[in-house]
Structure formats: C-alpha cells, structure tokens
Chains A and B, each alone.
Chain A
Amino acid sequence: MEYFVQQLVNGLTLGSIYGLIAIGYTMVYGIIGMVNFAHGDIFMLGGFAALIVYLLLLSLFGGVPIALALFIMIIVAMLMTGLWNWVIEKMAYRPLRGSFRLAPLITAIGMSIALSNFIQVTQGPRNKPIPSMVSSVYDVFGISISLKQIIIVVVTAVLLTIFWYIVNHTPLGRAQRATEQDRKMAALLGIDVDKTISITFIMGAALAAVAGTMYLMYYGVIVFTDGFTPGVKAFTAAVLGGIGSLPGAVLGGLMIGLIESLWSAYFTIDYKDVATFSILAIVLIFKPSGILGRPEVEKV
C-alpha cells in the first residue's frame, strides 16, 4: 500500500510537469487549430535558460538562497521562452495563418528541428548535470516525499489557479475565448486578434519554461534532445484530455504521469512509453475526441 502511494506521489509530480507543457499545446490548438510541434523544444529552451541563469548566479554571487535562485530562474526562463515563442509565432506561423492546415504543422516541425540543433550547436551536445539544488526529503506515514516534489506540485497548482483566473475572469481571457470560438467575429467586435494570439503563445511558452525549470531541478540534468520525449508525452496528454480543453490538458498530464510511474513500478520500465501510447490509442478508440473534449459536430 505504501509502495502504491509512493508511486502515486511520483506519478503526480511527473504528471504536473506534463500538464504544464500540455497547456501550451492545448491553448495554441484551441485558438488557431494548429499543433505546435516546437512546443517541446520551447520547454527544453526554458530548461537551458534556467540552467544558464543558475550558473550565472553561482559565478556572480557565490551562493544564493535556493528559494531566491529558483524564483529568478523561473522568471528569467519565462521571459526568455516568451520572447522566443513570440518571435517564432511572428516569423514561422503568422505568415501561414489562413493557409492550409498542414503548412504551419510543417514549419512547426522545422522549428523543432532548428531549435534543438541550435542548442546543440551553441551549448554543445553533452549532458548538462548540475549538483542537486534541493535535497531535503520528508517522511510522511512511511512515504518519503522530497521537497522537490512538493515544490513542483505547489508551483503547478499556483500557476494553474492564476492561469484559470486569467482565462475565465479577465478581459484578456475573454478575448482569448472569443478568438477561439470565432476569429472573424472576434475581430469584428474590436478584439486585436493578432495580439491575442501572440499573448497566447507567450503564455504557453511561459508555462513550458516553468516546466523546464522544474524538470531541471527534479532530474538535475538537461540535454538538447530533452524537448522531444516530454514534448510528445505532453502532446499525448493534451490529446488524451481532449485537445482544446484546459482542464483536459491537466487531467491528461496527470494521467500520463500516473500511468508511467505505476507501470514502471509494477511491470517493466522498458515498456513504460509503450504502455502510455497504447492507453492513448485505446482511449481514443472509445472516445475519439479525448476524455473532456467536445465531440466535433460536422456541418454539411
């Protein structure tokens, strides 16, 4: 039983990271109906930004309190990836808006290849390990919960609350939802659609940067290829939850995290990704638009 709860905690941590990335996918999909394949690499970029900021803080001030360091890392990484995604959207996706559906998908794949190779060229192809930043572990009723896990879950919960508030209770969120429903109508009603879409990309990237920082802190290592697997898992999570639905993305992320950790605990770790993808296929066969997704109504 304790073993099970322990795995549940691990899965929840992993799932929070996936959920944060998945929100970026699902928001961009919701607003312009495009799969942003470069999002996983934005996540990796965020992780690298956090790594470089951490090293910079170390070399400038010697030791910095961990809480402050983490805070600065998160903020700088968010700004950094926000700027990147803003530029990417402007250069690679906006010229193709209104063009046919596969065109932005291809530029996104091209962007994903370019970003990971950009980091490989500028930062080197090796693993980048850092010494453990947070090492306290607490024992709660026989289950060991590390401070890292608590930080990840708490940061995720706080961000999701802020995010949920922005989308549902601010003029910006209203503009986003309006653009999502009907872009032309929203433009007619005076919403600056281009700006709204840009902000959506920046918001998605900022969440991915937080996920990247958390990933770096949790695993203590990052490498230029790290964008792909978490990116695909997060995309899987977004689709599993029903792409376009924000609660769905979080739910999907948590599910993928739990499936992965429970499968590794009780079966073989080698096939954990096979299990994740198989469950995705099975869920989609029975619910073709995800768990919380609205079924598409075809108009003739």
Chain B
Amino acid sequence: MANISNTTESASSNLMARALREAFYAGLVALGLFVLFVGLKTDQNILNELILVQRWGLLAIFVAIAAVGRFLSVAFIRPYLEERKAAKAAAPAQEAGFVARNFSMIAVIVLLLYPPVMVYFFGFQGSLKWVDNFGIQILIYVMLAWGLNIVVGLAGLLDLGYVAFYAVGAYSYALLSSYFGLSFWLLLPMAGIFAALWGIVLGFPVLRLKGDYLAIVTLAFGEIIRLVLINWTAVTKGTFGISGIAKASVFGIWSFDVSAANNFAKSFGLPMSSAYYKIFLFYLILALCLITALVTIRLRRMPIGRAWEALREDEIACRSLGINTVTTKLTAFATGAMFGGFAGSFFAVRQGFVSPESFVFLESAIILAIVVLGGMGSLIGIAVAATVMIGGTEMLREMEFLKHIFGPDFTPELYRMLIFGLAMIVVMVWKPRGFVGSREPTAFLRERKSVSGSFTKEGHG
C-alpha cells in the first residue's frame, strides 16, 4: 500500500519537474521568437526616419505568458483532458437530447423571431446593430459557405477562388442596376446565372487538374477577376468602386427610398427609420439561405448529387461506372458559383457600394475555413462555424469594457483578424473533422445511421 502511494507521489513530483522544465524552454523559445518583433518597434520620427523604440516590459509579459501557459498546460490541463477522455470512453453513448434532435427546426424559429425580439429589447434604432452587423453579416457568410460546400464538401473540388463568383454577382447587380436601372428582383436571378456561367467558364479549363494544382488555378482565377475589376476603370471605376446602388423593394410594392411615393413607412403611417429596410434585408438573406439549404439537401438525393459525392469518394470508380465526370464537375462548379452570385447581389444591395477591396483572397480563405471548420458537407456544422467565427470577431468590435482594463488607447478591432487566425488554428487542431463530425447518408439499407466524418473522403480534385 505504502509502495503505491509512493509511486504516485514521485509521479506527480516528476510531472511538476517536467512541467517546470518545459515552461523554462517555452519561455526561452518565446524570448527568441519575440525579442525582435515585440522587444523593438520600428517607428517614424519627425524627420520621417525609422527609429527603434524599446519595449522590454512587453517582451517580458509575452515570455511570462508563454512560460506560465506551458506550465499549466503540461502540469494540469493535459492530465485533466486525458482523464476526461478515459472517462468519456468508459461511459455509454447517450441518446441525443431534444435540442440536438430538432436543432435545425429550433434554429429556423429562432432566426425568424430574431428581428422582432431585437426591436423589442433595443428599439428600432438600437436593433440596427444587432440585425445588420450580426444577423445579416453572419447569414451572408452562412450562404457563401453553403454555396462553397457544394463544390468542396460534396464534389470534393478544392476551390480557393470562390470569392470571384461573389464578386461577379455583386458587380453584375451594381453595374446593371446603375447603367440600366433594372430592379433587384430581376437582377437577383441574373446575377446567379452570370456567376454560374463564370463557374463553367472557369471550370472548363481546370477539369484535368487535381488537388493543389486545382487549388492554385482557382486562386489565380479569383485574383484575375479582382485585378480586372481594379484595372478596367472605364466600366468598374477601379478602386473607387461603384456607389449609390439602388435599394431593393418589397417585390416592387413598397419601396425603401425616402422620397418614393410608395415608401414602406409612409404607406403604413409609421415613423421614418432605416431599421425597416435592415429587417427586410434580414428576412431576404434568411430566405436565400434557406433556399440554398433546401436545394443542397434535395440535390444530394438526386442523381447529380449522388454523382458529386461519388466523385469525391473515388474518381476512377466513378468513371468506370459510367458517370460523366466532366458534366459532374461542371455542374458542381456552376451550382456553387450560382449561390455565390446570389449572395454577391445581396451584398451589393445591402452595402449600396461595391469595390474590389471586398473580394480579396482573404474572403475566399475565410469562407473555405468556415466550410472546413464546420465539418465539410454538414450544413448545420457550417452554420455553427459561421456564427462562431464571424459573430465572434464582430463581438470584438463591441468590447468597449476592454478599454477600461487596458487603457483608452486599446482598440480591440486591431486584434480582430489576429484572433480570427489563431482561432482557426485552435479549432482545427482541437477538432480536425470540424464541429459536426458525423454525416447523414442519403442512401441506406432499412435504417438510417449516421456515419463518422472520418469515413467520408475529401476528394482528389
């Protein structure tokens, strides 16, 4: 008995010694990493020359955080996680709860009630921020990610230039509405069709490419479209962008232009506010999202959707069974692009302004990250990932209280993308298969069982 307690004691003292040693190394590595970039800051003096400003205190904080973090991780967090993992493996699998079973239903109801609830709590003016910055912003990314999911998640074609189709949609609405005065409801389908055509145009030459070659060419196409938008100033006005894009109307019945006779607020005798338009836009993007989801769910059960997933699983088997891989790939590109186009024209209507700056590679990367973080192919997982990543970074804009802690010079917005990037890494290392790790099969024998995400392939293309 005494023997056993002795070994556990020495094990824990060993652990402490190891943790201290690792903490020391971590501090040393952090010192090496940050000594130039944090310890010294390049700054311009009055003569516009670069000078160095010393910040050794900040460097010490960085090193201390690294050392303490490493110590805690080795000494406490890791043993705890392993214990929990063992406990979880021992416990029997639980039945999914009510919320988990009806998650999508509940989510849709919550989203339908979201604007009135926000108006109730914050008033019309106060709800603007919550409906526009959070609601609409997140839903745009949900829609884009669901669109890209068709290409990457279902067909297994890695597309790094998805933002190009978003740009095509946005510019086709912006240009056609400002040059020809066409309405949003006419241009929304047209933007989708244009984007789908571009999807085919871009998809055709890359049919033979695979894997990373496909990735770089799609990235290149995304950049080409952006560069053309910047440089073709006669039509696109270059980096100045197109401003004053017409607002959408409620199917032409009520308008949101202040001067129009059929103004929404005037028709109902309500006080003037810009909140009505935002709430209308919220329901519009929600409807577009639901259409995307519905189409994706239905397509998965149709021959074309099955062909996409077969293509992802094994291209050679696919071909030998007589599936036309050319049309399969092209329809995947075109369908994905079409939803990107819809989202783009919605974006143009919402902003009232488009410029090439909104369509940089970073956007493609964010959309792809949402798809992968959510769990490729899982619509709910992707929606959760979009909410966490986009909502989380938007939240940083709201954290005024941090100014009281770190002083008035502290601007949380500055750290937004830094935290976004780090969050991408942390989530991916923590859950490499994404938030939702199981997939619903569409073809099954007698009983539908969910399949672990690690059994689905990610495609070669």
User: Are A and B co-members of a single complex?
Assistant: yes
Residue positions of A touching B, CB distance < 8 A: 29, 35, 37, 45, 48-49, 51-53, 55-56, 59, 76, 80, 83-84, 87, 91-92, 95-96, 99-103, 105-107, 109-115, 117-124, 126, 128-130, 228, 232, 235-236, 239, 243, 270-271, 273-274, 277-278, 280-281, 284-285, 288-290, 296, 298, 300
Q: Which residues of A contact B221 (CB under 8 A)?
A: 277, 281
Do A113 and B365 touch (CB < 8 A)? yes
Measured in the bound complex, the distance between the Cα atoms of B43 and A120 in whole Å is 12
Mark contacts of B73-95 with chain A using CB atoms, 8 A cut-off: 1 yes-contact digit, 0 otherwise: 00000000000000000000000
User: Smallest distance from the beta carbon of A40 to chain B beta carbons, Å?
Assistant: 11
Q: Which residues of A contact B228 (CB under 8 A)?
A: 274
Instruction: Give the contacting residue for A112; candidates B44, B158, B421; CB below 8 A.
Output: B421
Q: By CB atoms of chain A within 10 A, which of B51, B212, B227 has the most? A: B212
Interface-facing stretch out of B29-37, B98-106, B133-141, B305-313: B29-37
**B40 CB–A CB distance under 8 Å:** yes
Nearest B-chain residue to A290, judged by Cβ: B213
Residue positions of B touching A, CB distance < 8 A: 29, 32-33, 36-38, 40-44, 50-52, 152, 158, 205-206, 208-210, 212-213, 215-217, 219-221, 223-224, 227-228, 230-231, 316, 361-362, 365, 368-369, 372-373, 376, 414-415, 417-418, 420-425, 428-429, 432-433, 454, 458
Residues A109 and B424 in contact in the complex (CB < 8 Å), given A51-B42, A121-B415: yes
Instruction: Give the contacting residue for B224; candidates A49, A112, A124, A277; CB below 8 A.
Output: A277
Q: Which residues of B contact A53 (CB under 8 A)?
A: 36
Measured in the bound complex, the distance between the Cα atoms of B21 and A275 in whole Å is 54
User: Smallest distance from the beta carbon of A115 to chain B beta carbons, Å?
Assistant: 8
Do B205 and A87 touch (CB < 8 A)? no
Residues A124 and B41 in contact in the complex (CB < 8 Å), given A83-B29, A114-B421, A118-B418: yes
Q: Which residues of A contact B423 (CB under 8 A)?
A: 110
Measured in the bound complex, the distance between the Cα atoms of B368 and A300 in whole Å is 30
Measured in the bound complex, the distance between the Cα atoms of B251 and A94 in whole Å is 53
Q: By CB atoms of chain B within 10 A, which of A102, A111, A126, A284 has the most? A: A102
20 contacts between A and B (CB under 8 A): A35-B212, A37-B365, A49-B37, A52-B37, A96-B428, A100-B458, A106-B372, A107-B429, A109-B369, A110-B425, A113-B421, A118-B418, A120-B418, A228-B361, A232-B223, A236-B220, A270-B227, A284-B209, A284-B217, A288-B209
Do A52 and B42 touch (CB < 8 A)? yes
Prevailing SS type, chain A contact patch: helix
Measured in the bound complex, the distance between the Cα atoms of B37 and A49 in whole Å is 7
Nearest A-chain residue to B222, judged by Cβ: A277
Instruction: Give the contacting residue for B432; candidates A96, A123, A235, A285; CB below 8 A.
Output: A96
Measured in the bound complex, the distance between the Cα atoms of B385 and A224 in whole Å is 28
Do A103 and B432 touch (CB < 8 A)? yes
User: Smallest distance from the beta carbon of A114 to chain B beta carbons, Å?
Assistant: 3
Do B368 and A109 touch (CB < 8 A)? yes
What 8 A-B pairs are tightest by C-beta distance, nearest first? A110-B424, A114-B421, A113-B421, A277-B220, A117-B418, A99-B432, A270-B231, A110-B425
Q: Which residues of A contact B41 (CB under 8 A)?
A: 122-124
User: Smallest distance from the beta carbon of B436 to chain A beta carbons, Å?
Assistant: 15
User: Smallest distance from the beta carbon of A119 to chain B beta carbons, Å?
Assistant: 7
Measured in the bound complex, the distance between the Cα atoms of B36 and A37 in whole Å is 23
User: Smallest distance from the beta carbon of B326 to chain A beta carbons, Å?
Assistant: 14
